[in-house]
Structure 1
Amino acid sequence: MQAILYARVSTADQTLAHQRTQAEKAGFIIDQVIADEGVSGVSVPFADRPQASRLFDILRAGDVLVCRWVDRLGRDYDDVKNTINALMNKGIVVKTVINGFTFDGATKDPIQKAVRDSLIAFMAATAQAQAEATKAAQRAGIDHAKASADADTRYPGRKPSYSRSQLDHVVAALAGPSPSVSTIARDSGLTRQTVLRIRDDLAGAEAALARWGL
């Protein structure tokens, strides 16, 4: 049995090292890392990503696929749900670093299967909703930056205390069930106050990154 970490890196701030460190801090022992770099998780389906498609050839029944969260496994609700189901049908166990969820096809009990499938559907829908909210916030941040371009050039404000990858981590974690601000702060390496500011003003957080070109 092997544990493979799948990472998708779409920006300069999302490093493979960060995602592996985060997984290992959560207790995972990673045997191999498979990563798609420079690939959008919003526009490119999981099966169309060069390295993601390799996973179906590499992974065997009983292996564990680790990912930061379910949003790594698809571009929208249907893609995420279908990807997880395809992996489970091969006997592969899917585990997430954020929230520590485990999905496998071992159970034959219809009630347990219904609960599992409902949770997968909920998380897939949450992933799509979070992606759409992030895109909306990014547009709002860019519009805000453009509208005040002169002022931002003269005084762009204090440089954000978070990176793009940290912001993405916070947004994904906040979208999960029963998010703990303290846990999110610890896992992302940010202060509770920073996490709370991001939670309460995502558009402003995106605007701050845009003003600094991050």
Structure 2
Amino acid sequence: MKYGYARTSTTEQNPEAQIAALESAGCDVIRTEQKSGTKLEGRTELQTLLDFMRPGDVLVCARIDRLARSIADLQTIVQTLKSKGVALQCTEQPVDTTTAAGKCFLDMLGVFAEFESNLRKDRQMAGIQNAKAKGVYKGRPRQIDREEIRAMKASGMSAIEISNRMGIARAHVYRCLKD
């Protein structure tokens, strides 16, 4: 049986092209989700497929970067599929884990997907540093009123009582008092 997996990172992106490609590839079941591909946690549709697939099944995705953005996660997924006797194929790339060339190409694409993700992070950090230097970016505004914490402490409340009342960690109370 062929199972299709389509993923977009955000709800603004549309998975229709991936779904059409998976349907053309003859997938019997197609699961979609809109989650980041940088980690496996929280990707319930993928996990459902990994749990459900049986020996002889095939997992089909449009491209490797739709499956994973890190080589470690890709290797975990591929190892899980291999241990279950499940093949992996891509509609837009010559990936087919039933062949030696397909396995080789899979490994190369995984490295490039992780490289692209790392470049994106570097560009984002450079942009943030540039914005900070210009005084445009100041980070997330504080949500805890430090003066209120100091007033509670001055009135004789313990750090535990303050943390319980404010709904914050006790360590955060100490950090606020230290500032």
Tell me which interval the TM-score lies in, with the shorter structure as reference length. Answer: 0.5 to 0.7
Q: Which position in structure 2 is the counterpart of 1:89?
A: 83
The 1:57/1:120 distance shift into structure 2, 3 A limit, reads: same
Q: Which position in structure 2 is the counterpart of 1:74?
A: 68
The 1:134/1:51 distance shift into structure 2, 3 A limit, reads: same
1:34 to 31, 40, 43: 31
The 1:22/1:14 distance shift into structure 2, 3 A limit, reads: farther
User: What TM-score does the superposition give when structure 1 sets the normalisation length?
Assistant: 0.52
> Deviations 1:94-129 (Å, cap 9, x if unpaired)?
00122231113xx7xxxx4xx665443322211100
Query: Which is higher, the Rg of structure 1 or of structure 2?
Result: 2
Q: Do the aligned residues in 1 keep the contact of 2:3 with 2:60 (CA within 8 Å)?
A: yes
2:45 to 51, 57, 72: 51
What is the alpha-carbon distance in structure 2 between the residues aligned to residue 130 and residue 95 of structure 1? 21
Deviation at 1:48, TM superposition (A): 4.3
Counterpart amino acid of residue 36 in structure 1: E
What is the alpha-carbon distance in structure 2 between the residues aligned to residue 129 and residue 91 of structure 1? 29
User: What TM-score does the superposition give when structure 2 sets the normalisation length?
Assistant: 0.61
Structure with more contact order per residue of length (Cα contacts < 8 Å, sep ≥ 6) = 1
Give the gaps of 5 or more residues in structure 2. 137-179
Give % identity: 28
> Deviations 1:180-209 (Å, cap 9, x if unpaired)?
xxxxxxxxxxxxxxxxxxxxxxxxxxxxxx
> Deviations 1:35-89 (Å, cap 9, x if unpaired)?
222x2112x22x5421211112221111111112122223411111121122022
**How many residues are treated as equivalent by the alignment?**
134
1:133 to 113, 116, 119: 119
2:55 to 61, 86, 89: 61
The 1:20/1:145 distance shift into structure 2, 3 A limit, reads: farther
Q: Do the aligned residues in 2 keep the contact of 1:71 with 1:80 (CA within 8 Å)?
A: no
Superposition RMSD in Å: 2.9
Secondary structure of 2:55's aligned partner: coil
Give the gaps of 5 or more residues in structure 1. 150-214
Equivalences for residues 178-197 of structure 1 within 5 A: none
The 1:116/1:32 distance shift into structure 2, 3 A limit, reads: closer
What is the alpha-carbon distance in structure 2 between the residues aligned to residue 23 and residue 97 of structure 1? 7
Q: Which position in structure 1 is the counterpart of 2:142?
A: none
Counterpart amino acid of residue 107 in structure 2: A
Q: Which position in structure 1 is the counterpart of 2:110?
A: 124
